[in-house]
């Protein structure tokens, strides 16, 4: 059920005896990697305490529509925007009736009207209430509007009756919730992405670096999340916001980046888009270097080679599917093909950084991807976000074939 990984689920708890199952449902959803926020109606609070659900979800429970503290933090509109799925379990006959009529007189009903996320209901009520014509009309109307109905199940009820009306068990509800999300190209995969430049210190105030902005790597991280992946983004010094649901690790030097990548292993896919410094000063001065009047107009720096991050990870026994980047100013495809072979890569992305419209710091890119058979696939110039989505789809197709 990796489809629930990092999915955001608002669990609405209505006022029915089946609310005791909601606690187990929170656990099952979280076991599958979902982040859960709980909203309780007044009736729901009569059957199970907010403290129980807060402890299980790891977040404060949302209770009232007009709660100044909640509105100052994550108010009902923000909560509606946050959700990937709103699951109401138990969904009483009263909740179903109010949603059918579009009533918004408490936090849960208001949130449902305000969200663009999928909405699912797990009906729970007496068998006679479920069979009632009004409830059946409401259930059909809600399904017509695109709401999911999970159940109800048949069996003995708390009142002693037997029939349809029992809320489904937590395991089945978690499975039904997962079924709301289509399996995506990278669902269940751990993707490690490197981005940005590295900095190699000369002294406490100076360093060697390059012009990489990190925009391509960050766009790739966002696209990989959209494709269902768990994403670890190891980035050099950049001024970019962290993409939603991405585990970001900030580093400075090439050696720092290699250590962070090795710590993030194992992974299924490595996309190495960082512009890593090939060399670093052999000796880093402990104090700011001063101009030497006796040295003339020159300064000699002795450089040593940095570790090759891409070749190191691609050479491991537990190597992931490895994708490198070749940022070149000449002989683009020849140099990229050589790098593909030398570093034992599965794919390499060639990027002409001599072209200012697609080079470092630009908002657009155009790339050519070369595989192990030296077959080249060109991607026309467009925004880096669109290129990232196209590239992630291409890589995922090759990865899933491997």
Nearest of 327, 14, 66, 54 to residue 194 by alpha carbon? 327
159 catalytically annotated: yes
Catalytic residue among 159, 180, 261, 267: 159
| Active site residues per annotation | 159
């Amino acid at each position: 059920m990796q489809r629930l990984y990092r999915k955001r689920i608002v669990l609405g708890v209505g006022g029915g005896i089946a609310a005791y199952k909601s606690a187990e449902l929170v656990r099952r959803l979280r076991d599958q990697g979902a982040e859960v926020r709980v909203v309780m109606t007044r009736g729901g609070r009569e059957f199970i305490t907010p403290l129980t659900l807060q402890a299980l979800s790891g977040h404060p429970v949302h209770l009232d529509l007009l709660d100044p503290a909640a509105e100052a933090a994550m108010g009902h509109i923000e909560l509606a925007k946050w959700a990937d799925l709103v699951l109401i379990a138990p969904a009483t006959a009263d909740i179903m009736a109010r949603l059918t009529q579009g009533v918004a007189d408490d936090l849960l009903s208001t949130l449902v009207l305000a969200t663009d996320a999928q909405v699912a209901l797990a009906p729970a009520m007496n068998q006679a209430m479920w069979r009632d014509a009004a409830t059946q009309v409401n259930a059909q109307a809600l399904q017509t509007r695109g709401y999911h109905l999970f159940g109800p199940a048949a069996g003995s009820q708390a009142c002693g009756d037997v029939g349809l009306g029992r809320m489904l068990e937590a395991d089945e509800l978690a499975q039904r919730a997962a079924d709301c999300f289509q399996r995506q190209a990278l669902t269940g995969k751990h993707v490690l992405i490197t981005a940005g430049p590295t900095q190699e210190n000369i002294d406490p105030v100076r360093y060697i670096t390059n012009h990489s902005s990190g925009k391509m790597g960050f766009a790739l991280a966002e696209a990989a999340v959209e494709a269902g992946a768990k994403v670890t983004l190891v980035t050099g010094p950049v001024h970019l916001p962290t993409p939603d649901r991405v585990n970001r690790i900030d580093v400075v030097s090439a050696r720092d980046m290699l250590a962070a990548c090795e710590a993030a292993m194992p992974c299924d896919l490595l996309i190495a888009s960082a512009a890593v410094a090939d060399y670093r000063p052999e000796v880093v001065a402990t104090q700011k270097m001063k101009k030497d009047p006796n040295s003339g107009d020159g300064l000699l720096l002795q450089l040593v080679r940095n570790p090759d991050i891409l070749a190191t990870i691609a050479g491991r026994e537990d190597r992931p599917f490895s994708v490198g980047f070749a940022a070149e100013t000449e002989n683009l495809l020849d140099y990229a093909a050589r790098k593909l072979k030398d570093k034992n890569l599965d794919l390499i992305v060639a990027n002409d950084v001599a072209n200012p419209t697609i080079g470092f710091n630009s908002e657009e890119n155009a790339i050519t991807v070369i595989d192990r058979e030296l077959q080249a696939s060109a991607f026309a110039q467009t925004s880096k976000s669109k290129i990232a989505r196209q590239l992630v789809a291409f890589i995922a197709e090759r990865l899933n074939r491997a």
